Amino acid sequence: MRGGVSLVSLARASAPLLSVPASTSPHVLLSAPRRACVAQVSRDLGRRRAAATVGLRASCPGQCVRGFSTKKVVEKKAPSFAFAFDIDGVLLHVAKPIPGASDALRYLHHHNIPFILLTNGGGKLETERVKDLSEKLGVPLTTDNFVQSHTPFRQLVDDGPESLRDKTVLVTGADAEKCRAIAQAYGFRNVVTPADILHAHPKVFPFDPLLDSVHASSRAGYPSNSNPASGMLKIDAMFVFNDPRDWALDIQIITDLLLSQGGHLGTYSPRNNDASLPNCGWQQDNQPALYFSNADLLWSTGYALPRLGQGAFQAAVAGVWRRITDGHELRRRVIGKPYGETYRFAERVLAAHRHELLRAISHHEPDVLRSVYMVGDNPESDIAGANDFVSEAGTEWCSVLVGTGVWNPAARGGEGVLKGRFKPRAVVRDVREAVAWALEREGFAPGE
């Protein structure tokens, strides 16, 4: 439809909705009467399409999803709700927009309804990712309403006794050189990659190290933070920014540092396996803290089945650690969805973005943010995270599951996995239906 987006088309009533077990029927997007009503509206839309009607209204108020219009409006009252969208499997699939995703975001943008993109993806600078997403989705986005998996790492360079700004940190990910650049952009001043260590000490990994291919762009050379006695580098923290490519090398170096004395490469702590110490001495000798930015075991790609993600790499590191330490758990810090730290960070970002957006259009302080609709495709991250999160501001985080990504009603346990903390408030086909359901739940009517 030229110049506009219809919420009726966003609901796509002509195709069957996802089914859910009877026990979850209160959480279904549209009841049978409502589906019939939206179907009627869809037929009306078809009849009116020739007249280029925009923003069709339902003929049965209170039961049907409302029509969308792209008319830029200032709301009579600022909305007390907002959205948080996952990206892969919700807005994009194999880097291409999922049908209806652009329409849904454009509608929210035109009606000044705040939203953020909250993804477990990473490996690029926020500015780079936002530019790419804006072009793909056709919606103006900024870093003010974008949070990716490792964005919260920026907080670790803040001034204070725990600041890592001037410490030496090890970073890894799909492209370690890009991860280095991201870390430096965040404010970390001394950044090392596994390949740097490999170039300086080839015997650290006594196998084909791929120095001439995968690690060819990495450089040798250390920051000055070394052990004067041994000349070995001291690492103060380790960060996994996104899914590493060379698991073997990365696991070896991470394990070496977890076993080290004070984070000095090439050393072995005398406290390891000392039964008189807490945790039998493991990780009790100022070894570097280990940070993971994403716990997703699987993620949606162009392949027929989901692929292993950073959560799988984390499981591999933890598994090796358990074998080495005779069953002790790896102490690490994990952010990203579903962890509360990421949701708290995202809520602060959303609150700041919402404040600036609504102040600009209404010139007065907006009301308290009452509800955030978390729209995701992964029950174990998006849905569990929203369900578990307890907002310090009292904001309700409402989980909405789409069937266009990791979760599919016909695969991986289907509806049977939607139990307990993995059970969403609503199960819908795609992001268009998610937005439609949320707007109806809020009783949202654009100001005229």
Count of positions (residues) in the chain: 448
Q: What is the pLDDT, as a whole number, of residue 172? A: 97
Helix, coil or strand: residue 305: coil
Q: Are 127 and 177 in contact (CB under 8 A)?
A: no
Q: What is the pLDDT, as a whole number, of residue 24? A: 39
Residue 65, phi then psi, degrees to nearest 5:
-70, 140
| Residue 410 in tokens | 């016909």
- pLDDT at residue 163 tops 60: yes
Residue that wins the pLDDT comparison between 19 and 398:
398
Q: What is the pLDDT, as a whole number, of residue 344? A: 98
- pLDDT at residue 37 tops 90: no
| Residue ranges of domains in the chain, CATH in brackets | 71-149+339-442 (3.40.50.1000), 151-334 (3.40.50.1000)
Q: What is the pLDDT, as a whole number, of residue 260? A: 98
3-state secondary structure 330-388: CCCEECCCCCHHHHHHHHHHHHHHHHHHHHHHHCCCCCCCCEEEEEECCHHHHHHHHHH
CA-closest candidate to residue 389, choices 403, 376, 372, 377: 372
Q: Classify residue 214 by burial, with Cβ atoms within 10 Å: 0-12, 13-18, 19+.
A: middle
Q: How confident is the model at residue 443 (pLDDT cuts 50, 70, 90)?
A: very high
* Helix 126-137 and helix 101-110, axial crossing angle in degrees, nearest 10: 100
Helix H or strand E segment including 434: helix 431-442
Alpha helices in 14-77, H assignment, sequence order: 32-48
Q: What is the pLDDT, as a whole number, of residue 412? A: 63
* Mean of pLDDT values over 160-184: 95
- Rg of the chain taking only CA atoms, in angstroms: 25
Residue that wins the pLDDT comparison between 391 and 358:
391
- pLDDT at residue 283 tops 60: yes
What is the spatial distance between Cα 291 and Cα 161, in angstroms, rounded to a whole number? 18
Cα dist. 105→64, 75, 136, 356, 386 in Å? 21, 17, 12, 18, 20
Q: Are 200 and 221 in contact (CB under 8 A)?
A: yes
Whether residue 338 is preceded by a cis peptide bond, meaning omega within 30 degrees of 0, is yes
For 292-339, the pLDDT digits (tens) are 999 999 887 888 888 999 999 999 999 999 999 999 999 999 999 999
What is the spatial distance between Cα 182 and Cα 151, in angstroms, rounded to a whole number? 10
- β-sheet with 146-147: strand ranges across: 146-147, 115-118, 81-85, 371-376, 396-402, 426-428
Q: What is the pLDDT, as a whole number, of residue 229? A: 54
Residue that wins the pLDDT comparison between 161 and 441:
441
Adjacent-strand bridge partners of 356: none
- pLDDT at residue 219 tops 80: no
Helix, coil or strand: residue 123: coil
- pLDDT at residue 208 tops 90: no
The mean of the pLDDT values for the chain is 83
Q: What is the pLDDT, as a whole number, of residue 215? A: 62
Q: What is the pLDDT, as a whole number, of residue 441? A: 97
User: Which residue do the tokens 């790419």 mark?
Assistant: 132
Q: What is the pLDDT, as a whole number, of residue 159? A: 75
For 79-135, the pLDDT digits (tens) are 999 999 999 999 999 889 999 999 999 999 999 999 999 999 999 999 999 999 999
Q: Classify residue 247 by burial, with Cβ atoms within 10 Å: 0-12, 13-18, 19+.
A: middle
State in Å, rounded, how far the first CA of the chain is from the last one. 21
What is the spatial distance between Cα 36 and Cα 279, in angstroms, rounded to a whole number? 61
Q: What is the pLDDT, as a whole number, of residue 366? A: 77
Pairing verdict, β 92-93 and 96-97: antiparallel
Q: What is the pTM of this model?
A: 0.80
For 258-268, the pLDDT digits (tens) are 999 999 999 99
What is the spatial distance between Cα 211 and Cα 111, in angstroms, rounded to a whole number? 52
Helix, coil or strand: residue 308: strand
What is the spatial distance between Cα 79 and Cα 59, in angstroms, rounded to a whole number? 24
Cα dist. 429→16, 33, 271, 323, 421 in Å? 9, 18, 54, 43, 20
- pLDDT at residue 236 tops 80: yes
Q: What is the pLDDT, as a whole number, of residue 227? A: 56
Residue 433, phi then psi, degrees to nearest 5:
-70, -30
Q: What is the pLDDT, as a whole number, of residue 389? A: 98
- pLDDT at residue 447 tops 90: no
CA-closest candidate to residue 118, choices 84, 83, 82: 84
Q: What is the pLDDT, as a whole number, of residue 211? A: 63
- pLDDT at residue 144 tops 70: yes
For residue 264, give every residue at least 6 positions away whose Cβ sits within 8 Å of its Cβ, in sequence order, or none: 227, 230, 232, 233, 234
